[in-house]
């Protein structure tokens, strides 16, 4: 650990993020950029390819103060140049490239300015118990922790462990149903295990906010100007639209769980067309169709893990060197999840069955033998169902997170029902 980092006085002032535009990284980056009070300098290191393919996202963040550094994450001189003046590094690299962090850590160890490093964890606790060291999905993260323990000398390292994302746990995938899940649209559920509780964090849907002037609208609003009408996309079943007025302009909000690259090319808010929209609530008093349309502005609500990273950054005194900080939104059993879904729909679901842990383990063995990409998720679901997310106490309070800061089971089930 860097002896110059006094956790009673140190506060991050220059942050560098790797993997900022990824599935989890975008939420963490958004949370850091919108934190109040702000964190001084915030930069994202990204490849030229990503800078081009996600130019709109990065441009929006640049307006919030993000500095974009283009380079090769495997090129030492380029990374060392990016480290200049940086005191805190946040890695959000995806599962397939986690081992790149070994060199990022090695180079950071030779940087005179880096004092704090968050490796990419943000998921299941990879050192929960003795069995954890043998779990296949954990091996790359364990290799990174081994390097930290043996080689890193010059700075503090913090691991943020969130447990499973409820949205991921809910997903009922065809062909691997024995791994469990909940499908609100079909009112179908497969419940794993004997109701062992699971500790969750949440991943809210992406939100696209499209703003239009009063003379460039694809729809109109009620005379009362209330958010009273919803639109359903005929192309993407997970997308929904609501609208009303905001600051004298028509405001359309598009809720989706589709990743932006798959969503935007056919989004009716991004092109002058309403061909994919159908009204799914009572009709407005009048509808206006005009042609001048502006592309949507992509925004993200604060993902719980984004809140967790910001909270940890605010409380270095609660983050001892090499410690895993454990945060959760809520702890519930799979049966309680089913009950929450049934409460928010039409009552008891007709298509419910139960999957034993032995069935999950057999599915897991078969998928690994076949080399299936679903094997990792099924292994994780088995770990969660065995109790691998439960603690006597989390670190939520230590890093300043209260119950009001986190989503509840009702929140995330309500979103799933709405999107289903």
Mean pLDDT of 31-56: 93
Q: What is the pTM of this model?
A: 0.78
Cα–Cα distance, 160 to 394 (Å, whole number): 11
Q: Hey, what are 420's tokens? A: 């289903």
Asked if pLDDT for residue 295 goes beyond 50, the answer is no
Task: List the one residue out of 37, 30, 34 whose CA is nearest residue 12.
Answer: 37
Give pLDDT, residue 7. Answer: 58
Contact 83, 16 (CB under 8 A): yes
Spell out the domain ranges in the chain: 14-157, 166-203+328-419, 206-299
**Is residue 314 predicted with pLDDT exceeding 80?**
yes
Instruction: Inform me whether the pLDDT recorded for 296 exceeds 70.
Output: no
Residues 420 and 206: beta-carbon distance below 8 Å = no
Pick the range with the lowest mean pLDDT from 111-115, 278-282, 393-397: 278-282
Q: What's the farthest any 2 CA atoms get from each other in the chain? A: 69
DSSP label of 19: S
Band of the pLDDT at 204, cuts 50, 70, 90? low
Q: What value does the mean pLDDT of the chain take?
A: 80
* DSSP output for 392-414: S--STTTTT--GGGS--HHHHHH
In tens, the pLDDT along 319-350 reads 999 999 999 999 999 999 999 999 999 899 99
Class of the 166-203+328-419 domain?
alpha beta
Alpha-carbon gap, residue 141 to 159, rounded angstroms: 10
User: Which is the catalytic residue, given 54, 115, 131, 141?
Assistant: 141
Q: Supply the pLDDT for residue 173.
A: 92
Could you confirm whether 141 is annotated as catalytic? yes
Q: Which residue reads 């700075």 in tokens?
A: 155
Q: What is the mean pLDDT of residues 171-185?
A: 93
User: End-to-end alpha-carbon separation of the chain, Å?
Assistant: 48
The predicted-structure confidence for 136-177, as pLDDT tens digits, reads as follows 999 999 999 999 999 999 999 999 999 898 888 999 999 999
- Contact residues for 170 (Cβ-Cβ < 8 A; gap 6+): 181, 182, 337, 412, 416
CATH architecture of the region 14-157:
3-Layer(aba) Sandwich (3.40)
Q: Provide the token pair at 55.
A: 């130019």
What is the DSSP secondary-structure string of 270-295?
TTT--TTEEE-SPPPS-----S---P
Q: How confident is the model at residue 203 (pLDDT cuts 50, 70, 90)?
A: low
Q: Is the preceding peptide bond at 22 cis, omega within 30 degrees of 0?
A: no
pLDDT band (50, 70, 90) for residue 250: very low
> Would the pLDDT of 237 be above 50?
no
List beta partners, residue 16. Answer: 43, 89
Residue 20: the pLDDT is 96
Residue closest to 97 by CA, chosen among 19, 15, 16:
19
């Amino acid at each position: 650990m860097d002896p110059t980092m006094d956790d009673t006085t140190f506060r991050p002032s220059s942050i560098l993020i790797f993997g900022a535009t990824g599935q989890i990284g975008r939420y963490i980056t958004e949370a850091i950029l919108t934190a109040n009070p702000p964190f001084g300098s915030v930069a994202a290191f990204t490849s030229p390819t990503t800078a081009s393919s996600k130019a709109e996202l990065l441009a929006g963040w640049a307006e919030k103060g993000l500095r974009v550094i283009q380079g090769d994450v495997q090129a030492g001189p380029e990374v060392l140049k990016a480290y200049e003046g940086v005191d805190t590094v946040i890695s959000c690299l995806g599962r397939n490239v986690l081992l790149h962090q070994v060199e990022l850590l090695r180079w950071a160890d030779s940087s005179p300015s880096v004092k704090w490093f968050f490796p990419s964890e943000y998921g299941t606790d990879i050192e929960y118990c003795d069995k954890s060291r043998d779990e296949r999905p954990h091996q790359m993260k364990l290799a990174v922790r081994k390097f930290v323990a043996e080689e890193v000398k010059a700075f503090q390292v913090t691991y943020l462990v969130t447990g499973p994302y409820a949205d991921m746990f809910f997903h009922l995938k065809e062909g691997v149903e024995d791994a469990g899940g909940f499908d609100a649209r079909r009112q179908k559920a497969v419940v794993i295990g004997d109701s062992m509780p699971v500790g969750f964090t949440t991943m809210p849907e992406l939100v696209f906010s499209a703003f239009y002037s009063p003379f460039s609208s694809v729809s109109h609003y009620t005379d009362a100007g209330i958010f009273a009408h919803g639109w359903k996309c005929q192309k993407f079943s997970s997308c929904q639209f609501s609208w009303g007025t905001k600051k004298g302009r028509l405001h359309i909000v598009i809720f989706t769980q589709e990743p932006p690259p798959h969503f935007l090319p056919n989004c009716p808010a991004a092109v002058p067309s309403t061909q994919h929209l159908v009204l799914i609530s009572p009709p407005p008093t009048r509808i206006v169709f005009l042609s001048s349309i502006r592309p949507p502005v992509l925004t993200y609500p604060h993902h719980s893990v984004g809140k967790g990273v910001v909270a940890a950054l605010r409380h270095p005194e609660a983050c001892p060197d090499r410690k895993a900080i454990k945060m959760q939104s809520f702890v519930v059993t799979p049966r309680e999840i089913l009950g929450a879904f049934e409460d928010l729909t039409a009552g008891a679901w007709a298509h419910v069955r139960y999957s034993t842990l032995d069935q999950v383990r057999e599915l897991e063995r078969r998928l690994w033998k076949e080399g299936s990409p679903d094997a990792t998720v099924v292994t994780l679901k088995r770990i969660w169902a065995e109790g691998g997310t439960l603690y006597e106490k989390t670190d939520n309070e230590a890093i300043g997170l209260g119950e009001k800061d986190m989503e509840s089971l009702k929140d995330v089930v309500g979103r799933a029902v709405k999107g289903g």
